[in-house]
Amino acid sequence: MQSKMKESDPILEVENLSASTDNLPILKGVSLTVYPGEIHAIMGRNGCGKSTLSKIIAGHPSYNITNGDIKFLGDNINSLEPEERSQSGIFLGFQYPIEIPGVSNLEFLRVSTNARRKFLNKEELDTFDFEELVKEKLEIVKMDHAFLSRSVNQGFSGGEKKRNEILQMALLEPKIAILDETDSGLDIDALRIVASGIKKISNAQTGIILITHYQRLLDEIKPNYVHVMSDGQIIKTGESDLALELEEKGYEWTDNFIKET
């Protein structure tokens, strides 16, 4: 589908990926390639396998890959641990960020950032140096310093949790970010903050996959490609106007594609 000649090597290649959980097939042959600087949007009904795809790329232990490969910067990562994937530059922004009682957000962010820095052969940061770095990154998501002293995501509002995810993305500087419904549950102002944050963090060397139901995020961040998923497969790929068409005609319209294929 992406037949254009690319100058650089792909960041992520998902090749004919099938996966199941508890012997229930969820993905049924998904292929997707992301080159540096590209933004891909994945849309589709609830339960079509979008979130599963993102979790499998990040290494969630509940899913088994039954067929196909995931390659990151040319290497097969099918059997890498989630932490190894994160350290090497894969970031998953959670649809429902998890609360971790008692663990301070600041310490969590520092340990996480240092794990990535260690992988990059960069010096690990002590508490003071990290404070400096995080202060700068807080600006991007317009978060208050007070968030750092709270437990990870505990008692955060929906919008605060999502901003905390983008803060993590800003600190980890991933090669590829998969953002699973980062826009859901955000009011208009929060959506703008999150969207502008994502734009600030991404650049010509990074790739982004946005999983979303809504056009409003794609108005803020214009994707190069839009993929429509249904029943564990990508059934249609187009450019950004596909999302607009989808918004207008609804997912029922896409049911026809399945019949075609």
Under the rule (CB under 8 A), what is the footprint of another protein? 58-62, 81-83, 85-87, 92, 94, 97-98, 100-104, 107-108, 111-112, 115-116, 119, 151, 168, 172
Q: Who contacts 124 (Cβ-Cβ below 8 Å, separation ≥6)? A: 114, 117, 118
Closest CA to 187 of 226, 207, 214, 206: 214
**What's the closest the beta carbon of residue 216 comes to another protein, in angstroms?**
26
Distances (CA, A) of 77 to 164, 174, 223, 233: 27, 16, 26, 21
Q: Token pair of 87, please?
A: 């350290």
Nearer CB in complex with another protein: 117/236: 117
- Asked if 19 contacts 66 with a C-beta cutoff of 8 angstroms, the reply is yes
**What's the closest the beta carbon of residue 205 comes to another protein, in angstroms?**
19
* Residue type for position 174: P
| Sign of the four-CA dihedral 74, 62, 64, 260 | negative
**What's the closest the beta carbon of residue 178 comes to another protein, in angstroms?**
10
Q: Token pair of 157, please?
A: 């509002």
Nearer CB in complex with another protein: 13/165: 165
Nearer CB in complex with another protein: 40/116: 116
**What's the closest the beta carbon of residue 91 comes to another protein, in angstroms?**
8
Nearer CB in complex with another protein: 58/237: 58
Q: Which residue has the tokens 């097939």?
A: 25
**What's the closest the beta carbon of residue 107 comes to another protein, in angstroms?**
8
Nearer CB in complex with another protein: 104/215: 104
- Give, rounded to a whole angstrom, the gap between the first and last alpha carbons of the chain: 15
**What's the closest the beta carbon of residue 260 comes to another protein, in angstroms?**
36
Nearer CB in complex with another protein: 85/236: 85
Q: Which H or E element spans position 9?
A: none
Q: What is the DSSP string of 121-138?
A: TPPPP-HHHHHHHHHHHH
